[in-house]
Amino acid sequence: MIDKKQVLALAKTMKFSLTDEEADRYSHKLSEIINYLELIQEVDTTDVTPTYYGIVGQLASLREDVAEQSTQSEQLLNNASDTEGAYVRVPAILNDGQGGA
Amino acid sequence: MFLNETIESLHRQLVSGETTATQLVNRAFDAIAETDPQLRAFLDLDPEGAREVAKKIDEEGIKDDELYKGIPIAIKDNIVTTQMKTTAASKMLENFVSIYDATVVHKLEDAGMIIIGKLNLDEFAMGGTTETSHAHTTANAWNIQHVPGGSSGGSAAAVASGMVPVALGTDTGGSIRQPAAYNGIVGMKPTYGTISRWGVIAFASSLDQVGPMTKTVKDNAQMLNILYGQDGHDNTLATIEAKDYTEKIGHPIAGMVIGVPKETMDATLVDKHIIDCTKHALKQLESQGAVIKEISLPLLKYGVPAYYTIATAEASSNLQRFDGIRYGFRAENAQDLEDVYVKTRTEGFGEEVKIRCLLGTYMLSAERYEDYFKHAARVRTLISQDFEKAFENVDVIVTPTTTTTAPKLKEYNTVEEEAVDRYSADLLTVPVNLAGIPALSLPCGFVNGLPVGLQLIGRSFDESTLYQVGYAFEQATDYHTQHPHMMKGEESR
C-alpha cells in the first residue's frame, strides 16, 4: 500500500508536481502495482548474488580515458532554450534577490 | 509498397538497373502518403535528405557486393539523428534535434542504406501499445481498430504495411518482439551487448537493446550483420569476432532439440488459440526432424514483477537528465531554478512515464532498496540460471511471443484495463531481457485475422541458430507471404 502522502513525497524527489486528483489516482494505481510486484517475495534468494548489469558472461570493455577536442559547443548551446554568449541561462538559483547564474 | 520485397530482391533490381535508389525512396514516400494517414506510424520524415542521398548513390552506382546500398529504412524515434527530430514520443523532446547521430545510424549509412523517417513509440519506450505516445496513436497494420503493440509499434506497423522494407526498433522487455508478433513480421532482440546503444535514449540500461524488424528471417539476419560490434562509445558492448549471422540459414534442423517450457503453454495464462498456433508450429518443426522436449522454467511467473521493479528503478534514474536546462522542452513562467525543473518535468512527461518514475523511486528508496530492488536483482540471477539449466539439454527454447493477439485501441475498447493486466501481458518476453539472451519472434498463424508470433529463445550470442530454426519454419509455411487485408490488391511497383 502506498498512500497519497507518500506519492506526493516521491513526486517531490522526482521533481514533478501532482494535482490532488492525480495524487489520489496514482496512489491507487501504484498500490495495485506494488501489491503485484510483491509476488517475488515468495522466491527464496538466500545466498544468491544479485545481477545489476546486462553483460552476459563477460566484463564491460574498458578503454583509456583520452581527452578529445570537441568543436560542437555552439551546436550544443543551440539545443538549450535560453543562452547568453557561451552560457546557458537559467532563472535565479537562490531566492536571495541576487539574481540568477 | 514493399510488401513482396526483401533486401536481396531490392538489391537485384538495383544492380540490374531495373530500379534506382531514387525510385525506391519515391516508392517509400508514395506508400507512406497512401497508407500512413490510416496507420500513423511515422513521427518525422526526411524526403529532401533521402532524395539527396539516393541521387548520390545512383550517380555512384551499386555494385554486386553492396547488398544494402540504396535501400530505404526507417528507425524508431528514440534513436538520435541529426537530420530529423528525435522526440522519444515525448513532449519533453518534441522539438529536439540531436547534434550527433547514433552509432546504428552511422552503421546504416556506412552500408549505404537511406534513412527516410522516424517511427512512433510509447513515450520513452514505456508501454506495449504505442498509446502512451505524446504525438498520436498508431494502428495495427492488420486491423486499424487494434493496437500495433509497443513500444516499437510504429516500426512494426510500417514494415507490416510495406511502407518500408525494414526498420529498427528497441527492446527493453519485449518492445521489438511483441509488436512484431502483433503485426505478423520478424523481430530480433539480440544478446545484450551485441548492438551499440550510443545515441539510443536510455530507458533501462541493463536491459535495453536495439534490433532489426523485417518481413523475413533472412532480411533480419542480414540486418544484424551490419549492426553488431564495438564502436568505442558503448562500453557494455561485447567483443564479437567478425561473423555472418546468415551462416546457418538453410541448414537442416533435423536432430535439433527444441525445449518447450510447460509454464508457457498454460491456458490460464496464454490465450488457448495462441497455444494452438504454437502447438501447430511445433508439429511443423517436428516434421522437419526437430526433437520437441517439454522443459520447465519454474520462475517464469516472477519475471514480470522482477522486471518492473528493475526497469522502473533504472528508468527513474535515467530520466533525471530531462531538466529543461541544456536541451529539450523548458516550461515557461518559472520563478527560480527549482521551479524550472518541476514545471518542465510536470508538463513534459506523460502519465505512464510519471507512474513508472514514481514506482522506480519507491523501489530505490532507502527503506525499500534491500527488500525490493536488490531482491528483484537476485531473482534476476535465478531466472538467468533457469535458462542456463534449460540450455544444458536443449538447443533452442520455443514459446508463444505474446499471451493474446493485439488488443483493441483504447478508443474502441469498452473495458478499462488495469495497469497490472497490461504489465502481466509481458509474461513471455521480459525473462529474456532479464537473462540478456537473444530471442526472435516470427509469424506462426492468425486468430480472427490478427497475426500470432512464435518466440525462439537462444543461448547468449547464438542468434545464428535462431535464424536457422526461424528460416526453416518460415520456408515451410506461408504466414510471411500474407499481407494485411487493408493492403490487399494495392501492391504496385
Cell 530505490 locates to: B364
Q: How far is CA A82 from the centre of its chain?
A: 23
Q: Which residues of chain A are within 8 Å of residue B308 when distances are taken between CB atoms?
A: 33, 37
Q: Is residue B32 predicted with pLDDT exceeding 60?
A: yes
Please give the radius of gyration of chain A, using alpha carbons only, rounded to the nearest integer: 23
- B243-266 b/e (C-beta count within 10 Å ≥ 16 → b): eebbebbeeebeebebbbbebbbe
- The average pLDDT across B449-477 equals 98
Segment among A69-83, B125-139, B163-177, B291-305 with least mean pLDDT:
A69-83
| Residue B435 within a domain | yes
Q: Which residues of chain B are within 8 Å of residue A37 when distances are taken between CB atoms?
A: 305, 308-309, 372, 376
Q: How far apart are CA B73 and CA B205, in angstroms?
A: 25
| Residue B130 within a domain | yes
Q: What are B217-234's pLDDT values in tens digits?
A: 999 999 999 999 989 899
Cell 507518500 locates to: A6
At residue B261, what is the residue type? P
Distance between B234 CA and the closest CA of chain A, angstroms: 9
Q: Is residue B3 predicted with pLDDT exceeding 60?
A: yes
Distance between A47 CA and the closest CA of chain B, angstroms: 9
Q: Which residues of chain A are within 8 Å of residue B358 when distances are taken between CB atoms?
A: 7, 10-11, 14, 26, 30
Given this model, what pLDDT does residue A95 score?
A: 64
| Residue A17 within a domain | yes
CB contact under 8 A, A43 and B358: no
Q: Which residues of chain A are within 8 Å of residue B302 when distances are taken between CB atoms?
A: 39-40, 42-43
Q: What range does the domain containing B144 cover? A: 7-259+388-486
| Residue B461 within a domain | yes
| Residue B66 within a domain | yes
Q: Which residues of chain A are within 8 Å of residue B335 when distances are taken between CB atoms?
A: 91-92
- The answer to whether B201 and B80 have CB atoms below 8 angstroms apart is yes
Of B152 and B335, more confident: B152
Q: How far apart are CA B78 and CA B122, in angstroms?
A: 10
| Residue B441 within a domain | yes
CB contact under 8 A, B361 and A13: yes
B44 closest CA partner among B106, B92, B116, B137: B116
Q: Give the CA dihedral B332, B335, B336, B341, nearest 10 degrees.
A: -40
The residues in B 86-105 lying below 8 A from A, measured between CB atoms, are 96-97, 99-100
B122 closest CA partner among B91, B85, B89, B147: B89
CB contact under 8 A, A56 and B461: yes
Length of chain A as a residue count: 101
Distance between B451 CA and the closest CA of chain A, angstroms: 29
Q: Is residue B418 predicted with pLDDT exceeding 80?
A: no
Q: What range does the domain containing A25 cover? A: 4-42
**Active site members of B:** 76, 151, 175
- The answer to whether B64 and B35 have CB atoms below 8 angstroms apart is no
Q: What are phi and psi of B210, to 5 degrees?
A: -90, 150
Q: How far apart are CA B82 and CA B318, in angstroms?
A: 22
Residue A62: band (very low, low, confident or very high) from pLDDT cuts 50, 70, 90: confident
Given this model, what pLDDT does residue A57 score?
A: 63
Given this model, what pLDDT does residue B493 score?
A: 31
The residue of chain A nearest to residue B359, with distances taken between CA atoms, is A30
DSSP notation for B158-180: HHHTTSSSEEEEEESSSTTHHHH
- Any A CB within 8 A of B302 CB: yes
Residue A100: band (very low, low, confident or very high) from pLDDT cuts 50, 70, 90: very low
CB contact under 8 A, B330 and A81: yes
Given this model, what pLDDT does residue B104 score?
A: 98
CB atoms within 10 A of CB A63: 9
Segment among B198-202, B238-242, B487-491 with least mean pLDDT:
B487-491
The residue of chain B nearest to residue A97, with distances taken between CA atoms, is B336
- The answer to whether B379 and A50 have CB atoms below 8 angstroms apart is no
Which among A13, A18, A40 is the nearest to B379, CB-wise? A40
Cis omega (within 30 of 0) for bond into A61: no
Given this model, what pLDDT does residue B489 score?
A: 38
Looking at the structure of chain A, the number of domains it has is: 1
CB contact under 8 A, B378 and A55: no
| Residue A81 within a domain | no
Q: Which residues of chain A are within 8 Å of residue B376 when distances are taken between CB atoms?
A: 37, 40
- Any B CB within 8 A of A66 CB: no
| Residue A93 within a domain | no
The residue of chain B nearest to residue A54, with distances taken between CA atoms, is B206
The residues in A 34-63 lying below 8 A from B, measured between CB atoms, are 34, 36-43, 45, 48-58, 60-63
| Residue B183 within a domain | yes
- The average pLDDT across B357-383 equals 96
Given this model, what pLDDT does residue A98 score?
A: 53
Q: Give the CA dihedral B73, B78, B81, B87, nearest 10 degrees.
A: 120
Q: Is residue A97 predicted with pLDDT exceeding 80?
A: no
Q: How far apart are CA B419 and CA A37, in angstroms?
A: 12
DSSP notation for B97-131: --SS--HHHHHHHHTT-EEEEEE--SGGG--SSST
- Any A CB within 8 A of B233 CB: no
Q: How far apart are CA B282 and CA B286, in angstroms?
A: 6
- The answer to whether B114 and B54 have CB atoms below 8 angstroms apart is yes
| Residue B139 within a domain | yes
Cell 578503454 locates to: A63
Of B197 and B419, more confident: B197
- 3-state SS assignment for residue B286: helix
| Residue B312 within a domain | no
What are the beta bridge partners of residue B445? Answer: B452
Q: Is residue B486 predicted with pLDDT exceeding 70?
A: no
- 3-state SS assignment for residue A74: helix
Residue B420: band (very low, low, confident or very high) from pLDDT cuts 50, 70, 90: confident
B263 closest CA partner among B170, B373, B390, B375: B390
- The average pLDDT across A62-82 equals 86
Question: Which contiguous run of DSSP H or E holds residue B338?
Answer: helix B337-348
Which among A39, A76, A93 is the nearest to B305, CB-wise? A39
Looking at the structure of chain B, the number of domains it has is: 1
Q: What CATH number did the domain enclosing B38 receive?
A: 3.90.1300.10
- The answer to whether B217 and B249 have CB atoms below 8 angstroms apart is yes
Which parts of B228-350 are beta strand (E)? 257-261, 291-295
| Residue A14 within a domain | yes
CB atoms within 10 A of CB B488: 10
> CA of B465: how far to CAs of B15, B187, B245, B253, in Å?
30, 15, 9, 9
- The average pLDDT across B150-166 equals 98
- Any B CB within 8 A of A99 CB: no
Q: How far is CA B379 from the centre of its chain?
A: 25
Q: How far apart are CA B475 and CA B426, in angstroms?
A: 28
| Residue A78 within a domain | no
**What average pLDDT is seen over chain A?**
87
What are the beta bridge partners of residue B74? Answer: B117, B167
| Residue A64 within a domain | no
Candidates A4, A5, A51, A63: best to mutate against B (most CBs of B within 10 A) is: A51
Q: Which residues of chain B are within 8 Å of residue A10 when distances are taken between CB atoms?
A: 358, 361-362, 365
Would the ipTM clear 0.95, i.e. be above it? no
At residue B207, what is the residue type? L
Candidates A12, A13, A26, A43: best to mutate against B (most CBs of B within 10 A) is: A43
Q: How far apart are CA B322 and CA B201, in angstroms?
A: 11
Which among B206, B330, B336 is the nearest to A92, CB-wise? B336
